[in-house]
Amino acid sequence: MSAGRSMRKRRKENGIALLISIFVLLLISVVAIALVVSSGTETAIAGNYRSATGVYYAALSGLEEARGRLLSKNPNSFLKTAPANFLPPPGTRWDIGYVRYVLNPGPADLADTRTTYPDVEYDNEFGPGKLGAANVVTTPSVWNVAPLNALPVPGPLYKWVRINAVSEVSLQRQVAPFDGHTPDPAKPIYYDGIRLTIDPTGAQEVLEITSLAVLPNGSQNSSQKLVQYLVAPVPITLPPFQAALTLSGSQNGTDPFFQAPTTNAVYAVKGDGDQDCNGNPLPSKVAVGLYGPYQGVGNLNNALNAIKGGIPSFPPPSTAAKSNYTGQGAWPDVEQLTAPFQTPSQLDSFVQTIVQNADVILPSGSTGSALTPLGMSPTNPLTVVVNGNLDISNWSSDGYGLLLVTGTFTYDPDTNWYGIVLVIGQGVVNNSQNGQNKQINGAMFVAKTRDASGNLLPDLGGASVSFLPAMQGNGMRYNSCWIQKAQPTSSYQILSFHEISQ
């Protein structure tokens, strides 16, 4: 009986191992499926993240290309590579409705990428139909022209970048001053170094740079990103130009030396007649300024009288007042100036800042032939540095921008210079050729900060500006407009960045 019961019990337990095995397999299958689903989800998330990151940086590369090409010292600057009407003339503002595009089509895109990928954001900001009425000019990306278009790898996949001025209406905010004024949709915004403002005095215009990137993902859909900068140029802080011609000297150094052409009755240095870039008259400046620390009225007067002694009267030997030197004071207008840089080391630091942000640096011994290929023009003023002597004798072209010479500057009235001429270092200006009747329009600043061996002086030395008796030319005219146009820019500062929802 006992054996029978045991057999029946064992028969009841038959198949339990199979059920357990099936249950374990089922459990493993569920876990495996969960792992597969999780892995696929993570792969999808990683793919989405990769696409989102890629399109973000593609759009950002468009912003940075446009920001970099706004600088004239960039080899691919818009001034050098874009149509002549792509940028407004230097010294003039970007008007609202002045819209510029950088186009970057891929191999399968139309040449004008805006056809396939229209810019709807502009009308969102400025109002319906504003883009259609805008003044639009386009230029290709650096990735679509030689030599970069020949690379075996593609460039960044942004489609277009837009550059334009902004207003309170487009920004949808009132900027300083917060006086409750009615926003003017045609009035650009400026940046004064601290805040946005509608007052252009002492401020730089704000530009908006917008970039659209699109990454195809193999389907009808694609990843898109629209990003935007607000930027403003950061000018190099130049000393205030208070005179048409400024000469350095000091109590502990030496007095400046000035000698105008003695047989040229039309040669003049004028601080009056100044105008801004719109032709509006401005207050008169000094004709010839003395720059540097002087103690005692007698010492100062001796230095001022020495400069006046180099101004001839006409007709010789007349003792009449020298009426070609006009400005703020009685003629001949020669006055002491109050300047921010009183030591050679301060001026030297200023010089190094210009060198670091120069468009072109030329070696000592350069002549006018080195300036010709630079392509200076009224719409392309440059910052040119000569590390040593520059002789432009018989150079009959004209110069535009800021010229810095650290050695001797040999000038020739064959040449007009529009902008700023700085002769800081040896502080010597002379001439060897006499012909023609051109002039310097803007300001000239001459300072002796180094000795003949190139060592920095402890005190400002006496600058020397000495012209031959028979040199022709009309002299120097203070011109605020050309001084403004010649201001070098170190960069375009990013004021804000944001992504725009699509």
Q: What's the pLDDT score for residue 391? A: 97
For residue 294, give the amino acid letter: Y
Q: What's the pLDDT score for residue 168? A: 94
The answer to whether the Cα torsion of 323, 328, 330, 336 is positive or negative is: negative
Q: Is 285 part of any domain?
A: yes
Q: pLDDT band for 41, please (50, 70, 90 cuts).
A: low
In sequence order, the 6+-apart residues with CB closer than 8 A to the CB of 207 are 70, 94, 163, 164, 165, 166, 230, 231, 232, 492
How confident is the model over 52-69, as pLDDT tens digits?
Answer: 788 899 999 999 999 999
Q: Are residues 206 and 279 in the same domain?
A: no
Q: Are residues 207 and 265 in the same domain?
A: no
Q: Is 187 part of any domain?
A: yes
Can you tell me the mean pLDDT for 111-137? 96
CB–CB of 307/354 below 8 Å? Answer: no
Q: pLDDT band for 91, please (50, 70, 90 cuts).
A: low
Q: Are residues 272 and 332 in the same domain?
A: yes
**Strand residue runs (E) in 153-311:** 158-165, 190-191, 196-197, 204-205, 207-216, 222-235, 243-248, 257-259, 268-270, 286-291
Distances (CA, A) of 207 to 167, 190, 436, 450: 10, 9, 42, 41
Q: Is 110 part of any domain?
A: yes
The answer to whether the Cα torsion of 193, 199, 202, 204 is positive or negative is: positive
Q: Best-predicted range by mean pLDDT among 20-29, 348-357, 453-462?
A: 453-462
Cis before 469 (ω within 30): no
Q: What's the pLDDT score for residue 219? A: 39
Q: Are residues 125 and 207 in the same domain?
A: yes
Range(s) of the domain holding residue 165? 68-236+489-500
Q: Are residues 102 and 228 in the same domain?
A: yes
How confident is the model over 170-182, as pLDDT tens digits?
Answer: 999 888 766 677 8
Q: Are residues 396 and 314 in the same domain?
A: yes
Q: Are residues 89 and 224 in the same domain?
A: yes
Q: What's the pLDDT score for residue 47? A: 58
Q: Best-predicted range by mean pLDDT among 54-58, 159-163, 310-314, 327-331?
A: 159-163
Q: Which residue from 281, 292, 284, 276 is spatially nearest to 333, judged by alpha carbons?
A: 284
d(CA 415, CA 117): 49
Q: What's the pLDDT score for residue 316? A: 67
Q: Is 17 part of any domain?
A: no
> DSSP of 330-353, one letter per residue?
SSS-EEEE--S--SHHHHHHHHHH
d(CA 218, CA 222): 8
Mean pLDDT of the chain: 88
Q: pLDDT band for 431, please (50, 70, 90 cuts).
A: very high
Q: pLDDT band for 376, please (50, 70, 90 cuts).
A: confident
Q: What's the pLDDT score for residue 12? A: 59
Q: What's the pLDDT score for residue 39? A: 65
Q: What's the pLDDT score for residue 31? A: 80
Q: pLDDT band for 48, please (50, 70, 90 cuts).
A: low
Kindly calculate the radius of gyration of the chain based on its CA atoms and give it in whole angstroms: 34
Strands 207-216 and 222-235: antiparallel
Can you tell me the mean pLDDT for 288-305? 89
For residue 2, give the amino acid letter: S
> DSSP of 38-83, one letter per residue?
HHHHHHHHHHHHHHHHHHHHHHHHHHHHHHHHTSTTSTT-HHHHS-
Q: Are residues 325 and 467 in the same domain?
A: yes
Total count of domains within the chain: 2
Q: Are residues 195 and 313 in the same domain?
A: no
Q: pLDDT band for 235, please (50, 70, 90 cuts).
A: confident
The number of helix segments (H) and strand segments (E) in the chain equals 9, 27
Q: State yes or no: pLDDT of 10 exceeds 60.
A: no
Burial group, residue 33, by CB count within 10 angstroms (0-12, 13-18, 19+): exposed
For residue 128, give the amino acid letter: P
Q: Are residues 229 and 111 in the same domain?
A: yes
Q: Which residue from 64, 45, 49 is spatially nearest to 227, judged by alpha carbons?
A: 64
Q: What's the pLDDT score for residue 471? A: 95
Task: Give every strand in the sheet of 257-259, ordered side by side.
Answer: 257-259, 464-466, 428-431, 408-411, 390-391, 366-367
Q: Are residues 179 and 117 in the same domain?
A: yes
d(CA 449, CA 455): 8
Q: Which residue from 458, 430, 434 is spatially nearest to 446, judged by alpha carbons?
A: 430
3-state DSSP assignment of residue 6: helix
d(CA 71, CA 469): 42
Task: Give every strand in the sheet of 204-205, ordered side by side.
Answer: 196-197, 190-191, 204-205
Q: Are residues 220 and 202 in the same domain?
A: yes
Phi-psi region of 419 (alpha: psi -120 to 50; beta: other; left: phi over 0): left
Q: What's the pLDDT score for residue 221? A: 46
Q: Is 21 part of any domain?
A: no
Q: Is 31 part of any domain?
A: no
> DSSP of 277-317, one letter per residue?
TTS-B----EEEEEES---SHHHHHHHHHHHHHTS--SSTT
Both tokens of 357, joined, read 């942000």
Phi-psi region of 97 (alpha: psi -120 to 50; beta: other; left: phi over 0): left
Can you tell me the mean pLDDT for 213-223? 65
Q: Is 421 part of any domain?
A: yes
Can you tell me the mean pLDDT for 466-486? 94
Q: pLDDT band for 218, please (50, 70, 90 cuts).
A: very low
Lowest-confidence pick of 94-98, 262-266, 365-369, 379-383 = 379-383
Q: What's the pLDDT score for residue 179? A: 67
Q: Is 290 part of any domain?
A: yes
